[in-house]
Amino acid sequence: MTAFRKSLQICSISLCSAGLLSTPVLASEAVQWDYGKERGPDQWAVLDNAYQACGNGKNQSPVNLQNSLETDLPALTFNYQPGAEKVFNNGHTVEADYMPGSQLTLNGNSYTLRQFHFHSPSENTLNGQDFPMEAHLVHSDKNGNLAVVAVMFEVGATNPVLSQIWQQPLTAGEISEMEAAVNATGLLPAPKDYFRYNGSLTTPPCTEGVRWLVMKQPMTLSQQQLSSFQGMLSGPNNRPVQPLNARQILK
């Protein structure tokens, strides 16, 4: 990273970086939420009327991936260019916004990569088992429809992309510029098999209508990388799994 580091008040990932607001909202102006007891997931729905879907939504994320239906899912085509130049700690996660020009193609529809961020432990689970970390790569199409590619991480070999992203800890509100633009391709496993389900944002306002694409093959990160990420937060930043209700998980 270069010497460029500064404090910054940043809106929540679900409101600004996922493209749901056209202008940033400073954290001081937004309703504060977190992952604790008083303002955590169990309380999100009552913190603000705009967050009601967190409590009464029927297609909420994350979910436990089990009893999935075998089907012929369309291939995912990734065309990513180096595009992550800055990384920041918004108090809820460590996130990197992405420059325009990188696409995911699904069913002939093109989604632009907008940002990626991380959760530890994982939010989605597989047969009731969580993973040490999960990356969310957030995309939107020309109509504003969202598609999130989720990648699980196991402790193992060092991940080169993560080494570029957090070379040194960032405190809440800090932003840092990377030495060279990072290519998010390094966060994706080689096999592109995936689970698919309809869900929501996993943070307030928990907006539904999000297409979730969870990669079957996990990636690895070192224990040092995992500890570094966890040390930048005040505790776990995962929303508990939500009821599947009438939804079907496809694979």
Q: Which two tokens stand for residue 210?
A: 């999000």
- Paired tokens of 61: 């994320």
pLDDT band, residue 44 (cuts 50/70/90): very high
Query: Does the residue 78 lie in any domain?
Result: yes
Span 170-202, pLDDT tens digits: 999 999 998 899 999 999 999 999 999 999 999
Q: Please count the structural domains in the chain.
A: 1
Q: What's the pLDDT band for 30 if we cut at 50, 70, 90?
A: low
Kindly state whether residue 26 falls inside one of the protein's structural domains: yes
Q: How crowded is residue 141: how many other Cβ atoms within 10 Å of its Cβ?
A: 16
pTM score over 0.75 = yes
DSSP secondary structure string for all residues of 37-78 = SSSSTTTHHHH-GGGTHHHH-SS-S--EE-SPBP--PPPPEE
**Res 168: pLDDT:** 80
Residues spanned by the domain of 189: 5-231
Does residue 54 lie within any of the structural domains?
A: yes
pLDDT number for residue 27 = 37
Residue 210 in any domain: the answer is yes
The answer as to whether 247 is a domain residue is: no
| DSSP 8-state class, residue 91 | S
Q: Cα-flanking dihedrals φ and ψ of residue 57, to 5°?
A: -65, 150
pLDDT at 8 over 70: no
CATH number of the domain to which 157 belongs: 3.10.200.10
Within a domain: residue 236?
no
- 98 domain-assigned: yes
Q: Residue 92 catalytic?
A: yes
| pLDDT, tens digit, 9 for 90 and up, residues 120-139 | 999 999 999 999 999 999 99
Work out the number of other CB atoms within 10 angstroms of the CB of residue 249: 18
What tokens were used for 120? 């530890």
CB atoms within 10 A of CB 183: 17
Q: Are 233 and 116 in contact (CB under 8 A)?
A: no
178 in any annotated domain: yes
